[in-house]
């Protein structure tokens, strides 16, 4: 209403382009430069998702995770450098973009509202499912399984808020109102399947957001990068036959012996979605554990070539930080430095005009997840860190990583030209690659110079008249 009243009293000269742009921004409740601002979202209601036993030591996924991250980002002045977005709870309609009706009703409504539902209809749905949704835990609380706790009063609100926060942030980035953003949310979501809650997850926030962006904002192509140390089985399931959503996951696999056991390299999608699921399935256990070099090599040889060829309109990141050093197996076991995720984020920011949204997934060592969150937001704000340490630049990826990447490349090159055009160079150090790049650039420059020189000489010869002597007449 205010916009229409304002428009009715403003007259703008057609040729005054700058004034017209300012008026349009005012009418859209925007300010000049708004698209250059990073967004951040966090709501305290998500802290209330706690086991009724009250003992955090029994439950690695607890409120202290996001509380610690938020405090760290505030202390470092990073929150004040962002535009804070107002979160909201996802609606049942939004939840059902990915999840079944009964799953959405069971986990997406509080006890008072649940009493108003058609319980008979709900129970009819539940009767066809083999999963035991609520079970008594040794600590005295309730859970969907031994890991995934349930609080009858607060869990549904927290889970719906996590989804809604990611949707709100991603919508503002996708529409150009914000440059990029970071969602500090819990419970995580990437393990949640259509009708199954598992692995601390109830609703798949990133998958629902991708569906929302496609249906409500008509976003054409979406890239989901999942760097949580555990495979996002729920996200893969949601888009397994969808060619408009490219899902790339880097995860510990160990031949299916690491939770959740899915994400083999030959799981590539089906039907029209074949080739649009890319699993970098690390194998070999912890002998040695994967680290910075292996993740940077994966981005250089697989993630970025495929992502660039796909050319997404928006990038969503399932930003789990349990690959960061400090997480013992089975919650991790790898040795990636927190700052490495700064460089991975910067790489992704070269895609989709920088429209990148990070949503927190796993990660349970508080220092590790705070450090990694800080590094990622630092990147989203356009700040630079010190260059990679010299030892990282000189180190080659370990043999298990090379074998894993070569397996993925062998399978995926059928679908992606970028993996067929050049040798993969998987077993080289960053320093080796940079040297090769310099040599190739020098060779190309020399060839280009030679081509120009040859073309110039031919041009001179063609412009010479028949009677005009050459520069050097042959001796008689």
Q: Apex CA 217: angle with CA 417 and CA 187, to 5°?
A: 85
- Does 347 or 392 have the greater pLDDT score? 347
Strands (E), 170-296: 180-183, 222-226, 245-252, 277-282
Average pLDDT, the chain: 87
Q: Which of the four pLDDT bands, split at 50, 70 and 90, describes residue 29?
A: very low
Q: What's the mean pLDDT in 53-79?
A: 94
Give the pLDDT confidence of 300-318 residue by residue, as tens digits: 999 999 999 999 999 999 9
Asked if 327 and 365 count as a contact pair (C-beta separation under 8 A), the reply is yes
Per the CB < 8 A criterion, the answer to whether 282 and 401 are in contact is: yes
- Structure-model confidence comparison of residues 39 and 442, the more confident one: 39
CA distance 125 to 129: 7
Average pLDDT over every residue of 391-401: 94
Enzyme catalytic residues: 191
pLDDT at 14 over 50: no
The model's pLDDT over 153-169, given as tens digits with 9 standing for 90+, comes to 999 999 999 999 999 99
What's the N-to-C CA distance of the chain in angstroms? 94
pLDDT at 284 over 90: yes
Q: Compute the half-sphere exposure of residue 152: CA atoms within 13 Å on the CB side of its CA.
A: 8
Per-residue pLDDT tens over the stretch 115-124: 655 555 555 5
Q: Which residue has the tokens 């990679």?
A: 388
How does residue 57 score in pLDDT terms, banded at 50, 70 and 90?
confident
Non-local (6+) Cβ contacts of 36 within 8 A are 179
Q: Identify the pLDDT of residue 32.
A: 43
- Spell out the domains of the chain, with CATH numbers in brackets: 35-387 (3.40.800.20)
Q: Is the pLDDT of residue 31 over 90?
A: no
Return the minimum-mean-pLDDT range out of 12-16, 98-102, 457-461.
12-16
SS3 5: helix
User: Is the per-residue pLDDT at 24 higher than 60?
Assistant: no
Out of 129-138, 188-197, 409-418, least confident range: 129-138
Cα 83 to Cα 81: distance, rounded to the nearest angstrom: 7
């Amino acid at each position: 209403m205010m916009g229409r009243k304002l428009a009715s009293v403003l007259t703008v000269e057609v040729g005054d382009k700058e004034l017209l742009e300012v008026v349009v921004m005012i009418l859209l409740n925007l300010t000049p430069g708004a698209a250059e601002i990073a967004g951040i979202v966090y709501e305290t209601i998500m802290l209330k998702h706690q086991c009724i036993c009250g003992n955090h030591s029994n439950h690695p996924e607890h409120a202290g995770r996001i509380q610690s991250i938020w405090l760290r980002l505030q202390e470092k002045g990073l929150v004040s450098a962002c535009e804070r977005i107002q979160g909201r709870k996802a609606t049942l309609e939004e939840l059902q973009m990915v999840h079944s009706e009964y799953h959405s009703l069971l986990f997406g409504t509080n006890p008072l509202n649940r009493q108003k539902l058609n319980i008979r209809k709900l129970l009819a749905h539940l009767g066809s499912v083999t999963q035991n949704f609520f079970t008594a835990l040794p600590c005295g609380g309730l859970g969907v399984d031994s890991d995934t706790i349930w609080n009858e009063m607060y869990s549904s609100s927290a889970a719906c808020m996590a989804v809604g926060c990611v949707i709100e942030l991603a919508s503002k980035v996708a529409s150009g109102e914000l440059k990029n953003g970071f969602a500090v949310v819990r419970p995580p979501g990437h393990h949640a399947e259509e009708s199954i809650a598992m692995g601390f997850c109830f609703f798949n926030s990133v998958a629902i957001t991708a569906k929302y962006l496609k249906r409500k904002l008509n976003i054409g192509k979406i890239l989901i990068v999942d760097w949580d140390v555990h495979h996002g089985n729920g996200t893969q399931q949601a888009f397994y036959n969808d060619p408009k959503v490219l899902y790339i996951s880097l995860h510990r696999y160990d031949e299916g012996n690491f939770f959740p056991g899915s994400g083999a390299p030959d799981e590539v999608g089906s039907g029209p979605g074949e080739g649009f699921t890319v699993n970098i399935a690390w194998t070999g256990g912890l002998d040695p554990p994967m680290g910075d070099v292996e993740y940077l090599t994966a981005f250089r040889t697989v993630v970025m070539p495929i992502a660039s060829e796909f050319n997404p309109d928006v990038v969503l990141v399932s930003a789990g930080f349990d690959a960061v050093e400090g997480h013992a197996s089975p919650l991790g076991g790898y040795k990636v430095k927190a700052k490495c995720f700064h460089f991975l984020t910067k790489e992704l920011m070269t895609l989709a005009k920088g429209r990148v949204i990070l949503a927190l997934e796993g990660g349970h060592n508080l220092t590790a997840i705070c450090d990694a969150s800080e590094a990622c937001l630092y990147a989203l704000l356009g700040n630079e860190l010190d260059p990679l340490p010299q030892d990282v630049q000189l180190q080659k990826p370990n043999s298990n990583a090379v074998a894993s990447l070569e397996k993925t490349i062998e399978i995926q090159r059928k679908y992606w030209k970028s993996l067929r055009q050049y040798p993969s160079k998987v077993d080289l150090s960053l320093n080796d690659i940079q040297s090769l790049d310099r040599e190739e650039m020098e060779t190309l420059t020399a060839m280009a110079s030679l081509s120009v020189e040859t073309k110039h000489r031919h041009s001179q010869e063609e412009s010479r008249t028949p009677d005009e002597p050459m520069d050097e007449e042959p001796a008689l």
